[in-house]
A and B are shown apart, each in its own frame.
Chain A
Amino acid sequence: MNTIEETLWNYIDGNCSPDEQKAIHTLIAGDEAYRLKYQELLKLNTEFSAMELDEPSMAFTYNVMEAIRTEQAQQPLKAAINKRIILGIAIFFVLTIAILLGFVLSNIQLSAVTVATPAGLKMPEVNTYFTKPVIEGFLFFDVVMALYLFDTFLRRKSQPKEI
């Protein structure tokens, strides 16, 4: 049930429909009780609107920005560095090396290459080092490492991001 006060506050705040507004307007014009209450509430409304805001200390803004700066400075370097920059640098080096390698390989004339070994130098027999068990062991190690890295990658991906 709407009291006179509630109805009048709605009218003052502009929360009434046009029909309601018209009806209340008529009531204020014709009914003394409504008119007096309306004037009282209107004065209160003006009073409340004139409420003053409090002022924080002079150093408030500085303190906020300083706190933000301190927080950023305390961030671990890993989180502060933009991953795109790292990726960009990596792409630059890979491209440079690839271009250089391509240039060098395209300019080599293998037929013109003659390797002159010094008279007393004995070249080691590579075949003695790269035996079947060594190659198998190496491949096994590679597979284990690849599985370990893949597992780490999946674990990191499934972890929820911190807000």
Chain B
Amino acid sequence: MQSKLSDIALIEQTLGGNQSAYTDLVKRHQRFVFTLAMRFAKSREDAEEIAQDCFIKAYRSLAAFQGQSKFSTWLYSIVYTTAMTFLRKKRLDTDSIDDENIYIQIENNTSGYDVNNAENKSRSFYLNKAIEQLLPDDATIITMFYKGELSLEEIGQALGMEANTVKVKLFRARQRLKEKLERNLKHEAKELI
């Protein structure tokens, strides 16, 4: 079955002219690529634009992929560079997330949601909110580590960093995520954590 084929086999078929093989590759990786794009763009429209751009870029340079690393690692490095370029273009102030004033705005949004949709409170909701409040780099490393099934070395390859740097960054990102979670949940965090 086509869907059981490995990434490498699908790439070979694509290079051989079978475009539906690339459709399968896109379907296989689109959720993760889109999630990574969301870590940078914060809006679904922009994230879709970034993710789409990544898959087109990957298609263009598919022949240059030598298979020395996993296809996913290679693809995520494209996501990272595309997203960074996108951020530069959009001139988003990435540091502002840590700004206390902005944080209060986000916090107020969250608490507004709490009042009106108390029944919708869920662990994933609070976790996603906390991730949204992280810096893109922190959110990306956490997402890659927990959902990308990548080792520290592979994350380093994708982001162009040393594995040790990734390790330190992951540790700090987890600390920040924990803090955000606690701040968002206030007293409820104690129960959750």
Whether B78 sits at the interface, judged by CB under 8 Å, is: no
Which listed residue (B124, B170, B174, B175) contacts A52, Cβ 8 A? B124
Contacts of B61 in A (CB 8 A): 163
A68 CA / B143 CA spacing, docked (Å): 28
The residue from B26, B34, B123, B127 contacting A54, defined by CB atoms under 8 A apart: B34
Instruction: Give the residue name and chain of the A residue nearest to B143 (CB).
Output: A51
- Chain B contact residues, CB within 8 Å of chain A: 19, 22-23, 26-27, 30-32, 34-35, 38, 44, 47-48, 51-52, 55-56, 59, 61, 64, 123-124, 127-128, 131, 142-143, 146-147, 152, 167, 170-171, 174-175, 177-178, 192-193
Measured CB to CB, the closest approach of chain B to A4, in angstroms, equals: 12
A68 and B35 contact, CB distance less than 8 A: no
With A54-B35, A56-B34, A68-B22 in contact, do A9 and B174 touch (Cβ < 8 Å)? Answer: yes
Question: B51–A53 contact, CB under 8 A?
Answer: no
Residues of A within 8 A of B55 (CB): 64, 68
Q: When the two chains form their complex, are residues B152 and A15 in contact, meaning their CB atoms are under 8 A apart?
A: yes
Q: Are B56 and A67 in contact, CB atoms less than 8 angstroms apart?
A: yes
Contact string, A56-93, partner B, CB cutoff 8 A, digits 1/0?
11001101110111010000000000000000000000
Given contacts A50-B127, A67-B56, A163-B61, 17 further A-B contacts (CB under 8 A): A15-B152, A15-B167, A48-B127, A49-B146, A50-B123, A50-B124, A51-B142, A51-B147, A52-B124, A53-B35, A56-B30, A56-B31, A56-B48, A60-B48, A64-B26, A68-B19, A68-B59
Residue among B22, B32, B174 with max Cβ neighbours from chain A (10 Å):
B174
**Given contacts A9-B171, A44-B178, A48-B177, are A55 and B23 in contact (CB under 8 A)?**
no
What is the interface of chain B mostly: helix, strand, loop, or mixed? helix
Known: A52-B124, A53-B147, A68-B59. A60 touches B51 (CB 8 A): yes
Instruction: Note all chain A residues with C-beta closer than 8 A to B124.
Output: 50-52
Contact indicator B52/A64 (Cβ below 8 Å): yes
Q: Is the CB of A71 within 8 A of B56?
A: yes
**Bound complex: CA A60 to CA B34 (Å):** 10
- With beta carbons under 8 angstroms apart, the residue of B26, B44, B143 that contacts A65 is B26
Q: Which of B38, B48, B59, B171 contacts A6 (CB 8 A)?
A: B171
Q: B31 contacts which of A6, A49, A55 (Cβ < 8 Å)?
A: A55
User: In the complex the two chains form, what is the Cα distance from A43 to B189 in whole Å?
Assistant: 12
Residues in B neighbouring A31, C-beta threshold 8 A: none
Shortest A25–chain B CB gap in Å is: 20
